Each structure stands twice: as C-alpha cells, then as structure tokens.
Amino acid sequence: MHAWPASEVPALPGKGRDLRIHDTATGGRVTLAPGPVARIYVCGITPYDATHMGHAATYNAFDLVQRVWLDTKRQVHYVQNVTDVDDPLLERAMRDGIDWVGLAERETALFREDMTALRMLPPQHYIGAVEAIPGIVPLVERLRDSGAAYELEGDVYFSVDADPHFGQVSNYSTELMRHLSAERGGDPERPGKKNPLDPMLWMAAREGEPSWDGASLGAGRPGWHIECVAIALDHLGMSFDVQGGGSDLIFPHHEMGASHAQTLTGEYPMAKAYVHAGMVGLDGEKMSKSRGNLVFVSRLRRDGVDPAAIRLALLSRHYRADWEWTDQVLQDAVERLDRWRAAVSRPDGPSADALVEELREALSDDLDTPAALAAVDRWAALQTAEGGTDESAPGLVSRAVDALMGVAL
C-alpha cells in the first residue's frame, strides 16, 4: 500500500535530547537511546469509518516521538498497518450493503488525506493485512509445528502458556484479561480452548466471508494480533524501539502480539517500550466507531477549520491523559494559532534560542506538549507586549514549532 506525502521537517540549530517515555510494560519511564536508525511500529486503523479525534490524538503522539528522534539527527524507520480485513469491517460492509474492499479503500484514502492535512509523518512501510497474508501463514504454521498453537474445529489458536513472559506488557490480572478479551474481539467462552485467553491466529473460512489460501492451515483469514506481528517482524525485526497505539490496545492486542513474536523468535522483548495514548471521549464516553459518538477530522476540515488548529487542539492535552473533546478545546486552539501567527509575522522579536531548548526539554520529557505550548505562549506574549530586535527569532520559532510539533505557522 502507499502511504501519504511527507511534509518537510526543518532542521534546527544544535541537537535535540534523547526521548524519555512512559513504558506500559515496566510502568515507568525509559530513556530510549536508539542507534542511528530508530524503529517504531504504530498500529493503524481498521478502515470502516473516518478518522475521528481519538485516532488523530493517538497518531499525533507517535508523530511527536519521531520528531524528537529526528531532532537528535537520527533517522526513523516507521511501520504502520491497515487492518483491511477483520470482523468490524465485514460487519459494517454487510450492514450497509456495500463491498468490504471498496469500504476499506475509501476510508483508507480519507485517512491518508487527514494525516497529510495534519502534517503527520508517513510510515516508510504502510502494509495492509490482506497483503501481509503470505507472510502470516508460515508464522502460524511454525507456531503450530512447535506446539505453541493448536487447532480447534479448523481454527488455529495461540497458546498463551507457551510464552513465559505472557502478561508482562499489560500486567493485568487474569480476571481483567478475561473481561477485556471478551470485550475486544476474543472468545474466552468458546469450549475446547486450552486457556480461555488463547487468541485466534487463523480463522478457517466461514460461509459468506472472504478467505485466502492458508497452505497447510486450509483456507481462512488471519487473526488480528498475528497481522501486526508479521508486519513488524518483517520490516523491523525484534527489539525495536517503540510499539505504539491507544490504551485500548494494551490488552489483548499488544500483550498477544508480544507473546507471538517472543515465542516465534525466542527473543525478549519485542519492543523496548510499549507506549500508549489515552482515550479521547465525547460526552462522557470513549469516542468510538462502534458507539458512533464521533467528531471526524474530515468533517472539521470541510467546515473550514484550519488543520493546524486541529493539531494544536490535540497538542493541548498530554498524550497519556484521557480527555474530552469539546468545542471549547478547538476554540482555544484556533485563538492560540491566531496569536502565534501574529507573533511570528513580525520582522523581528525577542531571542528564541532559549525557547527552542525549552521545547526540546518538554517534548523529550514524555512528550509534555502542554509545557511546550506554554513555552511558545510565553514567547508570543513577550513579542506582543515588548517585541525584540532579533531578526532571526520569528523564523526560528516557526521552524521549531513545525519541526517539533508539526504545526505550520
């Protein structure tokens, strides 16, 4: 699959700081010191509806991770998937009486436009589940042949007990895992499973549903977690720097994915940090396609909202917080954008060298965007109140805000 066009990332004077970021697995902060190429996998969309503010907030967080790395003069190797075949997508296509392939293509195209408008950096490898199937089948066969997976009425399940590290991403209790498994696509009640938590690796072809050649597995389609593992291992290998997604992916998705990868390779861990963004809600509930309480990026764009204001709205909340989208959040962002643009449009201003260092410090400190915005606010207020004589300052502020936060002033 093709991704979307990259917006340019201006180079800043000096060098940024190594990223310190909260890791779900250890429950604390880790300092990531990748080699010359930092490696990141971020779970992509299931394309059955348009990009809402929750998605955008999550992708914003992982875009910032990359901008901090780029500022340390590293390269970034970024991989993202598209879950272009899965139960929710097939169910939506069925409900609306439309072709599931067409639905996935249409919503993926819209996602690319939203990401481009928001100046999110594109992945180098943007891979659909369907195109990953030839790589998934041999992995499932290997797991089965090594005894880490088993068949049940034609379907193939992963045995969580095969991984001694199972449970070490989420650190959730068995009871909570069971509850979340039922809620998020698992089938803990199905009779015949070795462990109720075991997730499906390969689903045998069902009447009326699409299926693919699975070699010795028989015709069918892949489970959700193995999809991301196959793509990540293929393009990044083990021990990549960041596995990212929203906090609703901690369990089962990232827990199971890590177990699949660790069992396949005998190496631990799959990722050096498991990083999760908080949930964005609307009217007291998590914004979600299945609940239908959505504010779409594309809708706001059609209504004439500047994408830079949408991005500033996302940046105004810390990525790990759960927060509510409101009209006020957007209104505040629109006003901030106006203030910042007025401040950088003057020919000179107060020196911005210290501001660049403040931004670097805030963002490398677990992506503290509220602190970063406050620092720019202070510079803009000083510019408005007193002005300054540094002719390079307004341009430097523009470049820093773009390079580190993806906001074009």
Asked if residue 85 binds Zn ion (CB under 5 A), the reply is no
Chain positions contacting ligand 5CA, by CB under 6 A: 43-46, 54-55, 57-58, 81, 83, 228, 245-246, 248-249, 277, 279-280, 286-288
Answer with the entry of Zn ion, ligand 5CA, none that 223 interacts with (C-beta below 5 to 8 A by kind).
none
Containing H/E element for 404?
helix 393-405
- Amino acid in position 128: G
Q: How far is the CB of 124 from Zn ion (least distance, A)?
A: 17
Of 36-44, 232-240, 327-335, 394-402, which part binds Zn ion (CB under 5 A)? 36-44
Q: Cβ closer to Zn ion: 114 or 227?
A: 227
Question: 307-315 and 53-71 are packed helices; what angle lies between their axes, rounded to 10 degrees?
Answer: 80
**Cβ-based neighbour number of residue 322 at 10 Å:** 12
Yes or no: say if 398 and 404 are a contact pair by the CB < 8 Å rule.
no
Answer with the entry of Zn ion, ligand 5CA, none that 222 interacts with (C-beta below 5 to 8 A by kind).
none
Of 41-49, 52-60, 286-294, 397-405, which part binds Zn ion (CB under 5 A)? 41-49
Asked if residue 258 binds Zn ion (CB under 5 A), the reply is no
Q: How far is the CB of 34 from Zn ion (least distance, A)?
A: 21
Q: How far is the CB of 156 from ligand 5CA (least distance, A)?
A: 19
Answer with the entry of ligand 5CA, Zn ion, none that 55 interacts with (C-beta below 5 to 8 A by kind).
ligand 5CA
Answer with the entry of ligand 5CA, Zn ion, none that 71 interacts with (C-beta below 5 to 8 A by kind).
none
Helix H segments across 37-96?
A: 53-71, 87-96
Asked if residue 148 binds Zn ion (CB under 5 A), the reply is no
| Binding residues among 213-252 for Zn ion as defined by CB under 5 A | 228
The tokens describing 10, both together, are: 């201006």
Question: 53-71 and 393-405 are packed helices; what angle lies between their axes, rounded to 10 degrees?
Answer: 120
Burial of 227 (0-12, 13-18, 19+ CB in 10 A): buried
Asked if residue 43 binds Zn ion (CB under 5 A), the reply is yes
| Beta bridge partner(s), residue 222 | 202
Containing H/E element for 286?
strand 285-286
The C-alpha atoms of residue 105 and residue 69 are separated, in whole angstroms, by 31
Q: Under the rule (CB under 5 A), what is the footprint of Zn ion? A: 43, 228
